[in-house]
A and B are shown apart, each in its own frame.
Chain A
Amino acid sequence: MTNPLLRIDDLHVSFRVGKEMIHPVRGISLHLNRGETLALVGESGCGKTTLARTILGLQAPSSGVIEYDGNDIAGLDRFQLKRFRPHIQCVFQDPFSSLNPRKRVEQLIREPLDIHQIGDKSTRLKRAHQMMERVGLPIDWGRRFPHEFSGGQRQRIGIARALVMQPDLLICDEPVSALDVSIQAQIINLLWELKRDMGLSYLFISHDLMLVETFADRVAMMYKGEIVETGPARQVWSNPQHEFTRRMIDAIPVPDVTRPTPPAFRIDAE
């Protein structure tokens, strides 16, 4: 195996909620190769968002290794973390709550450059405009506010904001689950093109098995804080090894009337 871009080994995360200790990530090991799309699939509450937050340095791990390009990033202090952050960026699920409604779009996209003090003001604005163009937003919309955009367009803003730092790894946390099917296709195609043109790697968090099989190179099935199965999607679906994977596959309604109704939907099977 060649040097992976991201390597996680026996990662544990736990934190306190009220009086209770919870343990959402329980000994996860996985790797993501350069240029690869790895999908993280699981149901709500399985710990996939906590895992993403931990990789981003927004949540401290309780033990384990997170290596990025061969360097340990789990133990960085906040100054080192700030310097490291441009390498991994994130696109969030909800394009409505993830953008500051009081900032203009070009300001929003420029903001990461401002924070990291990259270039002078006019260079940053130029980079923001280039990014807008790249994700399919007209530059003359830069002075508008987020509420003037549709869900799909806002997700383009979110992508532009993440990519303006020229990261290597983009974590996409359910980037299209809030969007309509026709718009979802536009955003997925955009992510696919960006990956091809900019040499990105994706950690793609989703619960949509059909989408994942179409878009990802490999999947990691996550269940109750653990990775229970990994492999190319088609291989995992056709020969699931874990009970959870099997249950999930049985519950997927394939949008195709020529395919048999999945077992979990049939009332004659009760």
Chain B
Amino acid sequence: MSNPILQVENLQICVRKKPGVLILRGVSFHVNAGETLAIVGESGCGKSMTSLAIMGLLPDAVEKLSGTIRFKGRELPITDNRAMRKVRAAEIGMVFQEPMAALDPLYPVGKQVLEVIEEHEKLPRAMAWARVIDLLTKVDLPNPETLAWSYPHKLSGGQLQRVVIAMALACNPDVLIADEPTTALDVTVQAQIMRLLKRLQRDTGVAIVLITHNLGLVAHTADRVMVMYAGNKAEEAPTRDLFLNPRHPYTRGLLDATPNPERASAQGGVLREIPGTVPSIADPMPGCRFAPRCPNASDLCHARFPDPTYEGAHGYACHHPVTDARV
């Protein structure tokens, strides 16, 4: 299946007025209609910056150096805030990590969903309100008519995230970006929210970009995965392929470092760690940024950044890819 609805090409983002300090170092990827793409990586790898760039919400401290973002074939005017207001929610919706921070504590939650609808569509108030209630029903909130008048502090974390999802889907976007949507929630609530997202996807055909560091979530909810490291795309592959046959040593390290009791006994009861830390974004290293931590690294890795290699849908940027499959 290849029907890209969102295409990001060679996106470079740097600290404002410091083109040498790159946060995204030329990232390219696409999202197909109706699929779930997971973007995985650790803090500072650029996964959140990628999503903010797509939404045109880059913080003032950074700027786009180069690259294009295309939605349904046309380029998104990500630096033009007024133009982007028409895109947000209507075409690309977003769910944030902290539902409490995404909602205004001074307005009833229903009003906040209403605001999204009225921003994009001219509808009589009564019809718009009926849609709010319908949306709150669709995200499985109990007693939506009453709950719509509740203030955020009266709702639990899981309920708030459902409201945020209702807001994100209020205008039937084609793409939903979910940036760590369940990180602040308990595991049982996390499962409910992920199931809700999958069901809404089945019913509306919305494509989901799931940004997360939780590999367990990825294994059971994503169609494809992109792994990022220090501002670069390290690897991308269909989910099953990535877990069973990772080619980039970083992906392999990440999978092996994740607690998994089934594999633990073979590792002697402790976790396999990736030594060292992520390099500073100001560090002008010419080669692969994972090289200092990599078991396979050679002089070539320190000298030159590897070009991406593709084997079908499976791509990776590495001079010395992992060859043995995980068992």
What residues make up the interface of A, taking CB atoms closer than 8 Å to B?
A: 43-44, 150-153, 180-186, 188-189, 192, 207-211, 213-215, 233-234, 247-248, 250-259, 261-262, 264-267, 270
Which residue from chain B places its CB closest to the CB of A264 in the assembled complex? B191
- A188 & B270 in contact (Cβ 8 Å cutoff): yes
| Contact flag A255-B260 (CB < 8 Å), given A182-B273, A188-B271, A266-B195 | yes
Binary CB contact string for chain B from 203 to 244 against chain A (1 if under 8 A, 0 otherwise)? 000000000011111111100000000000000000110011
Residues of chain B within 8 A (CB-CB) of A255 are 215-216, 218-219, 243, 255, 258, 260
A180 to B239, CA, bound (A): 21
Residues of chain A within 8 A (CB-CB) of B257 are 181-182, 184-185
Residues of chain A within 8 A (CB-CB) of B284 are none
| Most chain B beta carbons < 10 A, residue from A150, A182, A256 | A182
Please name 25 pairs of A and B residues whose Cβ atoms are closer than 8 Å in the assembled complex, sorted by A: A43-B187, A180-B42, A181-B257, A181-B258, A182-B254, A182-B274, A183-B42, A184-B257, A185-B271, A186-B273, A188-B271, A189-B270, A210-B260, A213-B261, A214-B261, A214-B264, A214-B269, A214-B271, A251-B191, A255-B258, A255-B260, A257-B243, A261-B220, A265-B220, A270-B199
| Contact flag A189-B273 (CB < 8 Å), given A182-B253, A254-B260, A257-B239 | yes
A248 to B187, CA, bound (A): 7
Interface membership of B120, Cβ < 8 A: no
Binary CB contact string for chain B from 77 to 92 against chain A (1 if under 8 A, 0 otherwise)? 0000000000000000
Interface membership of B194, Cβ < 8 A: yes
A97 to B188, CA, bound (A): 27
A189 to B264, CA, bound (A): 12
Smallest beta-carbon distance A200→chain B, Å: 15
Smallest beta-carbon distance A8→chain B, Å: 24
- B202 & A256 in contact (Cβ 8 Å cutoff): no
Residues of chain A within 8 A (CB-CB) of B272 are 185
Smallest beta-carbon distance A217→chain B, Å: 11
| Contact flag A265-B188 (CB < 8 Å), given A185-B271, A185-B273, A189-B271 | no
Residues of chain B within 8 A (CB-CB) of A151 are 43
Residues of chain A within 8 A (CB-CB) of B323 are none
Interface membership of B3, Cβ < 8 A: no
| Contact flag A264-B216 (CB < 8 Å), given A180-B43, A182-B42, A255-B255 | no
Smallest beta-carbon distance B39→chain A, Å: 15
Residues of chain B within 8 A (CB-CB) of A215 are 259
Smallest beta-carbon distance B33→chain A, Å: 19
Interface membership of B198, Cβ < 8 A: yes
Which residue from chain A places its CB closest to the CB of B188 in the assembled complex? A251
- B42 & A181 in contact (Cβ 8 Å cutoff): yes
Interface membership of B283, Cβ < 8 A: no
Smallest beta-carbon distance A247→chain B, Å: 6
Within 8 A of A (CB), among B34-55: 42-43
- A181 & B261 in contact (Cβ 8 Å cutoff): no
| Contact flag A264-B273 (CB < 8 Å), given A181-B258, A185-B257 | no
Which residue from chain A places its CB closest to the CB of B271 in the assembled complex? A185
- A181 & B221 in contact (Cβ 8 Å cutoff): no
Residues of chain B within 8 A (CB-CB) of A214 are 259-261, 264, 269-271
Smallest beta-carbon distance A63→chain B, Å: 29
Interface membership of B277, Cβ < 8 A: yes
| Contact flag A254-B216 (CB < 8 Å), given A210-B261, A265-B221 | yes
Interface membership of B309, Cβ < 8 A: no
- B220 & A253 in contact (Cβ 8 Å cutoff): yes
Smallest beta-carbon distance B23→chain A, Å: 17
| Contact flag A252-B254 (CB < 8 Å), given A188-B270, A214-B264 | no
A180 to B195, CA, bound (A): 25
Across the A-B interface, the 6 shortest Cβ-Cβ residue pairs: A253-B216, A264-B191, A180-B42, A182-B274, A185-B271, A251-B191
Smallest beta-carbon distance A35→chain B, Å: 15
Interface membership of B186, Cβ < 8 A: yes
A150 to B278, CA, bound (A): 10
Residues of chain B within 8 A (CB-CB) of A150 are 277
Smallest beta-carbon distance A234→chain B, Å: 7
Interface membership of B190, Cβ < 8 A: yes
| Most chain B beta carbons < 10 A, residue from A210, A247, A248, A270 | A210
- B42 & A267 in contact (Cβ 8 Å cutoff): no
- A253 & B219 in contact (Cβ 8 Å cutoff): yes
| Most chain B beta carbons < 10 A, residue from A180, A192, A208, A234 | A180
- A233 & B262 in contact (Cβ 8 Å cutoff): no
Which residue from chain B places its CB closest to the CB of A253 in the assembled complex? B216
Residues of chain B within 8 A (CB-CB) of A257 are 219, 239-240, 243-244
A103 to B194, CA, bound (A): 43
Smallest beta-carbon distance A37→chain B, Å: 11
A258 to B243, CA, bound (A): 9
A209 to B187, CA, bound (A): 10
A152 to B44, CA, bound (A): 14
A184 to B273, CA, bound (A): 8
A111 to B198, CA, bound (A): 51
Smallest beta-carbon distance A118→chain B, Å: 32
Interface membership of B296, Cβ < 8 A: no
Contact of A248 among B43, B188, B240, B253 (CB under 8 A): B188
- A267 & B270 in contact (Cβ 8 Å cutoff): no
- B195 & A265 in contact (Cβ 8 Å cutoff): yes
Which residue from chain B places its CB closest to the CB of A196 in the assembled complex? B270
A186 to B42, CA, bound (A): 14
A214 to B260, CA, bound (A): 7
Which residue from chain B places its CB closest to the CB of A189 in the assembled complex? B270
